[in-house]
């Protein structure tokens, strides 16, 4: 882990401050077209997306769980908002964002963020690959003729593709931007490479008067300060029933994307923890945004990667990005609107290259088949549907695969002790997946009058396991034979006692070291072994 004192000292040095401010400026420039585009997707005014990028970005930068992360309006949330805005209007969206934020705060207070630990590494690989592809596909819309996009009823879509000389010039500028970003770190680190790419290409386009799509062709970004605004919706049960389903989906998607980005940034900067704090920060940010006319948001992996690769490591970069964005809206809109979209597309293409887990293509042949399938599945579902569905699908498939593998682990070795009793030493967990295999281990007709089941190398996990033990005991009892359980750990005792099947004193083996015999027919505990 990095030395925190060194990082804190570095954060307040002049050199570090310069790096953080320049990283924030780079992020802010990249935020503008994305916020506008996502506002179009959701079917709202561009300023609704820009205000969300400013407010969500500022609040999460100040109190979020991971310095270096960037949050704002995202496409994953925008696609969910489309039908709500189309059917009920933007005021219902603001109310939904407020409720979404309150749910996220609740999740943080209850520390539900820790459940992100249940996301397996193959799901993480599929997540970053899928998101890289989504970011790439989102940039393709910039290769359409400005002004030809139409409202399809499900957001802004359609459009006429560039062709001929305009397309060639656009591609050339994109390639030039990518080349500058690639070569700049090899020459100097005084300014972030993405900022250098944007600056050089913008200067060339303006100096030579090239007729290429620019930020201003998307929409005007000029506006005032966001003002406090209570959503103008009826405060009735019917309104709550309308916005609740959307709020739940948005809250879940926002937290999943934010927590996965938190882990990804954490791996890059060498920090851990902060999941619950990030949930609270996202929730407070969205609640505030809903009251100030924003569309809500969550962590943005693309902008977070730009920030980290530009040197942003502290909260200063995120705060600077949000404040620069506000400055653009208030004072610098005419200048920012002159930036060619090709420069920003080039930056995002470099983000795609840096985000995609290229090593996953080589390890697909080396990892277990199930893990390889999960990586591909999560990638495909992320691209086809959305991140939340992809992660849930990936976790479910991984859990089922884990259960199947553990179900095959159950087996037993047998021996006859000095008293003539048959001892079955069970190995592997006993749970719903292995319950049937457990029952097949025993030879009820061929066993002697006393049978001992030794759980020293096993654990009783769930209700299905309890039922399997109870059913086995019933069969031995029907055959007139005695069944004893041995080496039950405290957690097993607790499960058995709680279920009311077997009355076992859970304090008889407090250190999990002493074997205890339990006669399931008589209910009598025997001597320790």
Predicted pLDDT at 29 = 92
Task: Note whether residue 389 is domain-resident.
Answer: no
Quick one: CA torsion of 22, 25, 27, 31, rounded to 10 degrees? Answer: -170
C-alpha–C-alpha distance, residues 212 and 209, integer Å: 9
Q: 384 versus 99: which is more confidently predicted?
A: 99
Smallest CA-to-CA distance from 355 within 297, 294, 306, 288 is with 306
Cβ atoms of 30 and 348 closer than 8 Å:
yes
- Final residue before a domain boundary, out of 328, 363, 378: 378
Predicted pLDDT at 2 = 45
- pLDDT(331) > 80: yes
482 — pLDDT class (breaks 50, 70, 90):
confident
Residues 206-230 have a mean pLDDT of 91
Predicted pLDDT at 507 = 37
Q: Are 350 and 417 members of one domain?
A: no
User: What is the C-alpha end-to-end distance of the chain, expressed in Å?
Assistant: 46
C-alpha–C-alpha distance, residues 299 and 37, integer Å: 17
Q: Are 290 and 421 members of one domain?
A: no
- pLDDT(379) > 90: yes
Q: Are 359 and 486 members of one domain?
A: no
C-alpha–C-alpha distance, residues 79 and 75, integer Å: 6
Size of the chain, expressed as the number of residues it contains = 529
Predicted pLDDT at 209 = 92
pLDDT in tens, 46-94: 999 999 999 999 999 999 998 999 999 988 888 789 889 999 999 999 9
Beta-strand runs (E) in 370-493? 411-416, 422-427, 450-457, 482-486
Task: Note whether residue 393 is domain-resident.
Answer: no
Cβ atoms of 499 and 463 closer than 8 Å:
yes
Q: Percentage of the chain with pLDDT > 90?
A: 49
Q: Helix or strand or coil: residue 500?
A: coil
Residues 402-416 have a mean pLDDT of 88
498 — pLDDT class (breaks 50, 70, 90):
low
Strand order in the sheet with 524-528: 411-416, 422-427, 450-457, 482-486, 516-519, 524-528
> If you average pLDDT over every residue of the chain, what do you get?
85
Angle between helices 369-384 and 387-407 in degrees, nearest 10: 160
Task: Note whether residue 392 is domain-resident.
Answer: no
Q: Percentage of the chain with pLDDT > 70?
A: 88
Residues 214-235 have a mean pLDDT of 92
Q: Are 368 and 223 members of one domain?
A: yes
Q: Are 80 and 222 members of one domain?
A: yes
132 — pLDDT class (breaks 50, 70, 90):
confident
User: What is the reported pTM?
Assistant: 0.76
Task: Note whether residue 262 is domain-resident.
Answer: yes
Q: Are 439 and 358 members of one domain?
A: no
Predicted pLDDT at 524 = 44
Predicted pLDDT at 139 = 86
Torsions phi, psi for 524 (to 5 deg): -110, 130
Task: Note whether residue 384 is domain-resident.
Answer: no
The CATH number that applies at residue 422 is 3.30.750.24
Predicted pLDDT at 72 = 94
**Residue 527 CB-density burial (10 A; 0-12 exposed, 13-18 middle, 19+ buried):** exposed
pLDDT in tens, 340-369: 999 999 988 998 898 898 988 988 888 888
Q: Are 362 and 486 members of one domain?
A: no
- pLDDT(9) > 50: no
Torsions phi, psi for 501 (to 5 deg): -80, -45
**Residue 247 CB-density burial (10 A; 0-12 exposed, 13-18 middle, 19+ buried):** buried
Residue owning tokens 């499960």: 495
Q: Are 371 and 437 members of one domain?
A: no
**Residue 312 CB-density burial (10 A; 0-12 exposed, 13-18 middle, 19+ buried):** buried
Q: How many domains does the chain have?
A: 2
C-alpha–C-alpha distance, residues 443 and 476, integer Å: 10
Task: Note whether residue 460 is domain-resident.
Answer: yes
Q: Are 96 and 212 members of one domain?
A: yes
Q: Is 89 left (phi over 0), alpha (psi -120 to 50) or beta?
A: left
**Which domain does 51 fall in, by range?**
16-150+159-378
Q: Are 349 and 422 members of one domain?
A: no
Judged by average pLDDT, the poorest of 32-46, 93-107, 427-441, 479-493 is 479-493
pLDDT in tens, 22-32: 999 999 998 99
Predicted pLDDT at 405 = 85
Task: Note whether residue 388 is domain-resident.
Answer: no
Task: Note whether residue 8 is domain-resident.
Answer: no
Predicted pLDDT at 60 = 97
pLDDT in tens, 266-293: 887 777 778 999 999 999 999 999 999 9
Predicted pLDDT at 271 = 76
Residues 1-28 have a mean pLDDT of 72
Q: Are 350 and 449 members of one domain?
A: no
Q: Are 108 and 206 members of one domain?
A: yes
Local structure of residue 65 (DSSP, 8 states) = S
């Amino acid at each position: 882990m990095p030395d925190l004192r060194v990082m804190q000292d570095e954060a307040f040095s002049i050199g570090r401050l310069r790096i953080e401010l320049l990283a924030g400026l780079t992020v802010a420039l990249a935020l503008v077209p994305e916020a506008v585009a996502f506002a179009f997707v959701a079917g709202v005014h561009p300023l609704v997306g820009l205000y969300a990028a400013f407010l969500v970005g500022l609040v999460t930068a100040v109190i979020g769980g991971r310095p270096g992360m960037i949050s704002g309006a995202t496409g994953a949330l925008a696609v969910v908002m489309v039908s709500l805005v189309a059917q009920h209007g933007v005021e219902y969206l603001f109310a939904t964002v407020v409720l979404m934020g309150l749910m996220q705060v609740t999740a943080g207070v209850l520390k539900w963020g820790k459940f992100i630990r249940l996301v397996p590494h193959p799901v993480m690989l599929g997540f970053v690959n899928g998101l890289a592809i989504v970011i790439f596909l989102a940039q393709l819309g910039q290769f359409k003729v400005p002004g030809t996009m139409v409202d399809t009823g499900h957001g802004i879509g359609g459009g006429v593709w560039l062709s001929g000389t305009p397309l060639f010039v656009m591609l050339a500028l994109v390639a030039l931007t990518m080349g500058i970003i690639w070569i700049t770190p090899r020459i100097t680190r005084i300014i972030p490479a993405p900022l250098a790419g944007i600056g050089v290409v913008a200067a060339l386009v303006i100096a030579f008067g090239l007729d290429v799509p620019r930020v201003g062709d998307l929409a005007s970004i000029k506006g005032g300060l966001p003002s406090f605004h209570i959503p103008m919706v009826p405060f009735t049960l019917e309104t709550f029933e309308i916005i609740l389903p959307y709020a739940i989906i948005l809250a879940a998607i926002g937290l999943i994307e934010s927590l996965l980005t938190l882990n990804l940034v954490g791996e890059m900067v060498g920090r851990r923890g902060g999941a619950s704090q990030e949930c609270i920060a996202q929730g407070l940010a969205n609640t505030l945004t809903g009251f100030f006319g924003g569309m809500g948001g969550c962590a943005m992996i693309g902008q977070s990667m730009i920030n980290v690769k530009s040197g942003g490591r502290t909260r200063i970069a995120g705060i600077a990005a949000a404040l620069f964005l506000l400055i653009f809206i208030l004072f610098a809109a005419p200048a920012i609107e002159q930036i060619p979209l090709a420069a920003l597309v080039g930056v995002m293409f470099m983000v795609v290259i840096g985000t995609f887990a290229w090593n996953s293509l080589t390890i697909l042949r080396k990892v277990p088949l199930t893990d390889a399938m999960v990586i591909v599945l999560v990638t495909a579902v992320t691209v086809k549907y959305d991140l939340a569905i992809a992660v849930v699908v990936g976790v479910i498939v991984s859990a089922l695969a884990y259960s199947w593998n553990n179900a095959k682990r159950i087996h037993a070795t047998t021996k006859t002790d000095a008293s003539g009793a048959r001892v079955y030493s069970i190995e592997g967990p006993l749970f719903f997946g292995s319950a049937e295999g457990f029952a097949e281990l025993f030879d009820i007709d061929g066993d002697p009058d006393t049978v001992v089941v030794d759980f020293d190398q096993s654990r009783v996990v769930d209700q299905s396991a309890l039922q399997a033990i109870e059913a086995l005991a019933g069969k031995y009892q029907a055959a007139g034979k005695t069944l004893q359980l041995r080496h039950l750990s405290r957690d097993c005792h607790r499960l058995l006692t709680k279920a009311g099947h077997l009355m076992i004193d859970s304090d008889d083996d407090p250190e999990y070291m002493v074997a205890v015999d339990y006669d399931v027919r008589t209910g009598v505990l025997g001597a320790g072994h």
